[in-house]
Structure 1
Amino acid sequence: MSRPLFLSRRSVLCAAGAVTAATVTGCWGSPDHSDPSHPNPSQESAIFDLSFKIESRYRPFELVAPAFTAVRSGAGAVEGLAVSDHTPAAPFAAVEVDVDALTGPVCAGLATSGDEHLLAVYDPASQRASIEVRRGGRTTTVARKKARLPASFRFAFALCENRVTVLADTGDGWQPLLSRREKVSKHVDMRVPETLRAHRYAWGAHGSAGSAELAGVRAGLFGMTGIRDQHLVQHSDGTPYLRDGKAYFTATCAGLGFFQQAHWGVFTLDLAAPTRLEQVAQLYSRRDGLLLGDHAGQIVRDDENDRWLVATSSWGDFAFDGVHVRHVVTTDDVLSGVHVLETTPTPLPTRVSSWDPGMTRIDGRWHIGFVESPSQDPFDFHPALAAAPAGADWLDGLELVGAATDLHQCEGPIIARVEDRWWFLASDGDDRRYPVYDLRMRPAGTLDAPYETNIPHPQLVPLPEDRGGGYLLVTFDGTQFAEKVMGYGGHGDVLVMRSTDAGR
């Protein structure tokens, strides 16, 4: 069955109501996983004294990620195609060209030493932007669109997975001119490591005639159109991983397109100035012979065993037929640089799809929160919690504690400690609230915080006393980028909320 190119959770979640009547109203675990020190989850607790208000909202947006720029040049006059010595580590790349003047078409993209390429092209004579693929000695224009650009402008090629987008900036920021995926992948699959490895960043004048006067060129790994799915990097005991007053967290880097066009990154958040956001690592996955942008997960520093636990979700090749959690254990510092992760499936205690993993060791027992999803077409999903036996390693003997099967549009589970108590938080898009559970998955209440668009995840960030104490709630909303051209998937304004004590 054919499906619309930009089918999204937002457009299909309305169908979740059709399955509500057929589902049970909740699933709770056995007494073996109880929280004996706090048997009554409805008793007064500090988490329900917190009241959050939005203090800042901002939009991370970069075609070429600043910390991952491979080429930076004041190019001057260019005749023909200039090919660099640099190739991207994964099929998430961009080339930005500052055009001063043209006597012919200008181009940017990726090219090989063997006369093959994947390019964004603008021809001032015909006033058309196009996407061009050259393979096996044959050049194919897979898409073109009328575009009237001024004499000087910024021009860009962006590759996210197999989707190529042509963009221009005439003074009001980057805007997409056209974008294609299937017509590109029909000719070349940039997810194949050997294929990508042969390509290098390229730019210049297109064709045998003409030249371009360029003020500058930037090329490197793709950044983001927004970010979402923020999850604190933590030590195994749940305390935030901090360096120099900055908290680290993973986030999905929204791409130019749907879920497959997103990838994963690591960011720092300055606790003294929460609008100071910096990407410090790019994370990709290699599996099933392909380079993919799996995302939505967590990184935990296990100091006792001198290792990093990395868990993510298999969104990189999503095709509405299943998602699963994957992981890798490594001694590499995954909080900086570029990493291609060799992940394996995670043995969660579920028979359905899963995503959004997060893990914490509490009183000697690993707890792993995740999302269970019995259907992705239409989407139906809810939070679940698993735990390992006391003293066992993080994935050994996991058993299901419970699952909120009465919810159908609820994800973003977060294991969080507020003062002396542990909680399991989630985000319910149907009722527009943040439900709070204890560690037996018993409903305990609702977090008092604004619920904006999409399904924002309730990531709490405890603040040290020298920063005023209390908590930040760092999350996202559903603000899209150029949705009329790009469709759903480019969302992710960052929202930072700060707690006050609401009193009892």
Structure 2
Amino acid sequence: MFPEFKIVRRQRPVTIAVESSSFSRPAANAAIEAACDGPVSLSFASGGDVLTGCYDGRRVRLEVTTGSRRTSHASRRHGRVGRGATRFALTLTGTMLTALTCQHGAWVARARVDLTEVGIEPRDESWLARLAAGHEGSAEDVRSGAFGQLGLRDIRVVTYADGSPFREDDGTLLLTATSAGPGFFPTAHTSVWALDPVTYDLVHRGALYFRRDGLVYGDHATHLVRDGDEWLVTTSTWGGFKAPDKADPSKPWNPVGVTIARSRADLTRGEHVLDSTPLALPTDGLMSVGVWDPHVLRRDDEWLVGYVSARKYFDFHTVLASGPRLDALRLRAARTDRTATEGTTLVPLGGTVVVGASDGRDNPRHVRARYPIFDLDLNEVAELRSAYVTNLPWPTLIPVGDEWLHVAFDGTPHGGRLPGYGTHGEVVISRSV
């Protein structure tokens, strides 16, 4: 069904501060970094809230001032910096404030604090409207703007509504990706990238944020679709996710859902905040606690939507729905025999549509670490023969002439041990042979 694939390029475009002429931030996604040869402090300020990262040449700490209250936050294990630190950075990603140092070309998180725990909600647009960046001490070569990424994952090709790749006039392909932040999923955001199908070079083009529930979120695991003269955007609400507390089930938590947005703006460049609304994805009889990874395609007069449904966090499987409209979907099929399968992807092929997915290593033994290919009833009909790297790489398949590209990602972290899970991954590009 598909040819065999061979890896042709691995790359990881790590960027802390995406420098811009104006620091105006549309979302809680900001960074300032500087070279330093002595004590330095970097800061964000909004009204009476001042967020400061301090590096004295040996240790890193954070100071948060809100009104008359000041708190200090340091890590005993990770805050001490050895020799060789060349740059210092302060980032705001969602509600997380993080200080990092760069040593030997690698960024390492040294201190962090969740701002909601000290009474600050940085995703509020009125708070963001007053946000400014500053620095003191030995700061040189100062850069400020949006936070970039520690890694890329959840990569999808930008498509037309019929599932064919959206190409620019010179043949450049466009991708959306989850730009990993210094921590778990709420620190990430959706980014847009240009991919050269010959050199495999990636170039950052912009970012998408999502306004919902009165706040602006860095939601991700996004599919960007050109539908007529507008853009259709479906995304997963990971930006506000809070997992259930196993030790205390009574604590409040936030599930993951899927939202939809439409825009006539050029979403392939620059930063955009989109008004998103819930997309009702059917889970009849599935005992679902959450859905994510939307992928949409219109065939004739029918919409197909692939996604993931979770029985619990984290036990999840592939689902397919269809309907005459995106607000009138019905459950078509579900692979409930899986417990760690995601990245549901609809691929036009030979006059029909097939469904790709990623069987993670936590699945039953006979369906681990592989890319199954299903028909539209989710019967498995083939297996993609391509490298299955670490974590849960997706089967993002792109036709290029008579050949195919497979754009995946792995679970390699970046940023040291303090951020924990969520700083992956490296982009892995394979080509058919």
- TM-score normalised by structure 2 residue count: 0.90
The corresponding residue for 2:67 is 136
Question: Which residues of 2 match residues 95-244 of structure 1 at below 5 A?
Answer: 95-100=32-37, 102=38, 105-112=39-46, 114=47, 116-124=49-57, 127-143=58-74, 146-148=79-81, 153-181=86-114, 185-205=117-137, 212=138, 214-243=139-168, 244=170
CA distance in 2, matches of 1:148, 1:279: 31
CA distance in 2, matches of 1:174, 1:132: 20
Secondary structure of the 1:174 match is strand
Question: Which residues of 2 match residues 420-435 of structure 1 at below 5 A?
Answer: 420-429=351-360, 430=363, 431-435=368-372
Q: How many pairs are equivalent?
A: 410
Question: Which residues of 2 match residues 59-458 of structure 1 at below 5 A?
Answer: 59-65=12-18, 69-71=19-21, 86-100=23-37, 102=38, 105-112=39-46, 114=47, 116-124=49-57, 127-143=58-74, 146-148=79-81, 153-181=86-114, 185-205=117-137, 212=138, 214-243=139-168, 244-274=170-200, 276-303=201-228, 306-320=229-243, 321-350=254-283, 352=288, 353-376=290-313, 379-389=314-324, 393=325, 395-429=326-360, 430=363, 431-458=368-395
Q: Which has the larger radius of gyration?
A: 1
Given that 1:235 and 1:300 are in contact with CA atoms closer than 8 Å, whether structure 2 keeps it comes out as yes
Given that 1:119 and 1:132 are in contact with CA atoms closer than 8 Å, whether structure 2 keeps it comes out as yes
- Gaps of at least 5 residues in structure 2 are 244-253
1:152 offset after TM fit, Å?
A: 7.6
1:196 offset after TM fit, Å?
A: 2.3
The corresponding residue for 1:487 is 420
- Gaps of at least 5 residues in structure 1 are 1-45, 72-84, 206-211
1:150 offset after TM fit, Å?
A: 5.6
CA distance in 2, matches of 1:369, 1:138: 48
Given that 2:160 and 2:226 are in contact with CA atoms closer than 8 Å, whether structure 1 keeps it comes out as yes
Higher relative CO (Cα under 8 Å, sequence separation at least 6) belongs to 1
Secondary structure of the 2:418 match is helix
Secondary structure of the 2:344 match is strand
CA distance in 2, matches of 1:413, 1:139: 46
Secondary structure of the 1:196 match is helix
Given that 1:297 and 1:355 are in contact with CA atoms closer than 8 Å, whether structure 2 keeps it comes out as no
Given that 2:308 and 2:342 are in contact with CA atoms closer than 8 Å, whether structure 1 keeps it comes out as yes
Given that 1:483 and 1:490 are in contact with CA atoms closer than 8 Å, whether structure 2 keeps it comes out as no
Change (3 A) 1:220 1:445: same
1:483 offset after TM fit, Å?
A: 4.6
Q: Deviations over 1:397-451 (max 9, x none)?
A: 2111101111110000110123444201111112111111112222212111121
Q: Deviations over 1:472-494 (max 9, x none)?
A: 10010111113522110001110
Change (3 A) 1:118 1:448: same
One-letter amino acid of the counterpart of residue 426, structure 2: D
One-letter amino acid of the counterpart of residue 404, structure 1: R
- TM-score normalised by structure 1 residue count: 0.78
Change (3 A) 1:406 1:150: closer
One-letter amino acid of the counterpart of residue 330, structure 1: S
The corresponding residue for 2:247 is none
Secondary structure of the 2:121 match is coil
Given that 2:150 and 2:415 are in contact with CA atoms closer than 8 Å, whether structure 1 keeps it comes out as no
Given that 2:341 and 2:359 are in contact with CA atoms closer than 8 Å, whether structure 1 keeps it comes out as yes
RMSD: 1.9
Secondary structure of the 1:486 match is coil
Given that 2:84 and 2:103 are in contact with CA atoms closer than 8 Å, whether structure 1 keeps it comes out as no
One-letter amino acid of the counterpart of residue 186, structure 1: V
Given that 2:96 and 2:114 are in contact with CA atoms closer than 8 Å, whether structure 1 keeps it comes out as yes
CA distance in 1, matches of 2:192, 2:84: 38
Instruction: Kindly indicate whether residue 422 of structure 2 is the aligned counterpart of residue 497 of structure 1.
Output: no
